[in-house]
Amino acid sequence: MPPQIKRLALLFVLLIGLFLTLKYFLTPKSFGEFGHYRGLALEENKVKVPEYSGQKACNECHDDVMALKVANEHATLSCETCHGAGRVHISSVDSVVISPKVPNSREFCGICHAKNFARKAENIKQIDMKAHNAGELCTKCHNPHSPWQEKK
Amino acid sequence: MAREEVKSRRDFLSRAAMVAGGLFISAGSTPFASLLYATERKSKTGPWYGMGIDLDRCIGCGRCADACKTENNVPRDPFFFRTWVEQYTILNDGSIHVESPNGGIDGFTQKFPDTDIFKAFFVPKMCNHCVKSPCTQVCPVGATFESPEGLSLVDPTYCLGCRYCVQACPYGCRYIHPETHVVDKCTMCYHRITKGLLPACVEVCPQEAKIFGDLNDPKSELVKFMKDHSWQVLKPHMNTEPKVYYNQLRAEVR
């Protein structure tokens, strides 16, 4: 074997060795645990605290509102659909209760109930926002938890 | 030249047989088959999550898109979405109009008079968590992957922000987060479903139009939904095997 080939072979072995050493130290320990990715990433993806607490969490304190809601048109709605994420409200201490948002603008109701050809009539009751008591708040006549209950 | 190399019919036939045999053996061994599938359905016992979307029920309120942004700290700018809603309006002249103002979060308005409209409907979009996900296959560092539950997830500490996956996704479900400068996408609310909660978009849907469930559990809501409805997936010709199943999906939807 010519000497220059021997030197070249040695160089190759050294470079490959260097690469493997670096790879050993730089690859995270959990890489390849489940597949071609860092196994710990699965746990890290689970860490985040949920903002929306779920219907069950609301029921624990507000079972009276819940009972009214499920008996009426808005039965399928989760409390958090309109009131927003519940984490801050639920984790607030008794002395300083941080209320969830109470949206009562016409525009907010209109997000679902404004007349739109794309909405099926059997799915949702719709009104012409311009013709139906223009300028008035929906909550003046309708109770959001029981839309057809008469308000005095 | 080539004519001289093949000396006889016997030579030709033996060479043809060798080529055919070689092709046959290579087809049988398929060393790259594992690269076609980002993940395999490892067991029939563990969870294998999917989503059903009933377009018959969707009213386009955009609460799913709004809740998703709150739950997952998605920037409020109108071009970063993990899930969003599109309004399709097909006119009598055959033209198709698609719009999604702020993903539907601020509500939709009807742009055409009733008499001009042939058909109108809403389509909520989200990551399809494909079985053969192109985004996972193109990632050069293994920062995006399929979890054992069949969900396409991102490792933000490993992502380079190279944007290959953003281009690879046929459904436009990925974006580069303006603050972290790495890719961000729907995780099917992995942090929620592993705690026994529903994904945020499913939790807030007033019409129960989104059905989350385990495809491996024959009693799950999703399997029930798939039995009862003639579902379809988006872009089936892309061969990505999406796991978001739409009821009443029309051919106009892209």
Q: Nearest-CA distance from B237 to chain A in Å?
A: 27
Instruction: Say which amino acid occupies B180.
Output: T
Q: What is the DSSP string of B139-177?
A: -SSS-EEE-TTS-EEE-TTT-----HHHHH-TT--EEE-
Are residues B77 and B145 located together in one domain of the fold? yes
Query: Does residue B198 share a domain with residue B118?
Result: yes
Band of residue B67 on the pLDDT scale cut at 50, 70, 90? very high
Residue B229 lies in a domain: yes
Q: How confident is the model at residue B5 (pLDDT cuts 50, 70, 90)?
A: low
pLDDT digits (tens, 9 = 90+) for B165-198: 999 999 999 999 999 999 999 999 999 999 999 9
Q: B202 and B92, same structural domain?
A: yes
Structural domain total, chain B? 2
Contacts of B67 in chain A (CB under 8 A): 52, 80, 85
Please give the single-letter amino acid code of residue A90.
I
Q: Do both B57 and B170 map to the same domain?
A: yes
First and final CA of chain A: distance in angstroms?
104
Instruction: With beta carbons less than 8 A apart as the criterion, state whether A106 and A138 touch.
Output: yes
For residue B201, what is the DSSP state?
A: H
The interface residues of chain B toward chain A in range 126-185, judged by CB-CB distance below 8 A, are 142-148, 153, 155, 157-158
Do strands B144-146 and B117-126 pair parallel, antiparallel, or not at all (unpaired)?
unpaired
Domain with residue B200: its CATH number is 3.30.70.20
> In angstroms, what CA-CA distances link B73 with B67, B143, B173, B177, B248?
10, 20, 16, 10, 31
pLDDT recorded at residue B3: 60
pLDDT at B210 over 90: yes
In a domain, B240, yes or no: yes
User: Is B176 found in the same domain as B63?
Assistant: yes
> ipTM, 2 decimals?
0.87
Same domain, B189 and B77: yes
User: What is the pLDDT, as a whole number, of residue B93?
Assistant: 96
B93-143 pLDDT, tens digit per residue, is: 999 999 999 999 999 999 999 999 999 999 999 999 999 899 999 999 999
CA angle B97, B240, B246 (to 5 degrees): 50
Residue type, A69: K
Say if B140 falls within a structural domain.
yes
- pLDDT at residue B8 in the model: 85
Residues B10 and B61 in one domain: no
Same domain, B146 and B217: yes
pLDDT in tens, B43-65: 567 899 999 999 999 999 999 99
Is residue B102 in a domain? yes
Predicted confidence (pLDDT) per residue in B8-47, tens digit: 888 889 999 999 998 888 777 655 555 555 556 655 678 9
Do B201 and B175 fall within a single domain?
yes
Does a structural domain hold residue B42?
Answer: no
B121 and B220 part of one domain: yes
Whole-number pLDDT of residue B37: 54
B40: in domain: no
pLDDT of residue B77: 93
Task: Show the domain range for B20.
Answer: 2-31
Helix (H) or strand (E) holding B122: strand B117-126
Q: Does A118 sit within 8 Å of B122, measured CB to CB?
A: yes
Examine the domain organization and report whether B67 and B10 are in the same domain: no
Q: Is B40 exposed, middle or buried (0-12, 13-18, 19+ CB in 10 A)?
A: exposed
| pLDDT value at residue A104 | 87
- pLDDT tens digits in sequence order for chain A, 152 residues long: 899 999 999 999 999 999 999 999 999 999 988 888 999 999 999 999 999 999 999 999 999 999 999 999 999 999 999 999 999 999 887 777 888 889 989 999 999 999 999 999 999 999 999 999 988 999 999 999 999 887 65
Residue B151 and residue B116 in one domain: yes
What was the pLDDT predicted at B41?
65
**pLDDT of amino acid A152:** 58
| Residue B39 maps to a domain | no
- Is B41 within a domain? no
What rounded mean pLDDT belongs to chain B? Answer: 91
Chain A residue with CA closest to B142: the answer is A37
Residues of B in contact with A37 (CB under 8 A): 142-145, 155, 158
The candidate with the shortest Cα–Cα distance to B243, out of B204, B186, B196, is: B186
When scoring A77, A111, A115, A145 by the number of chain B Cβ atoms within 10 A, the one with the most, hence best to mutate, is: A111
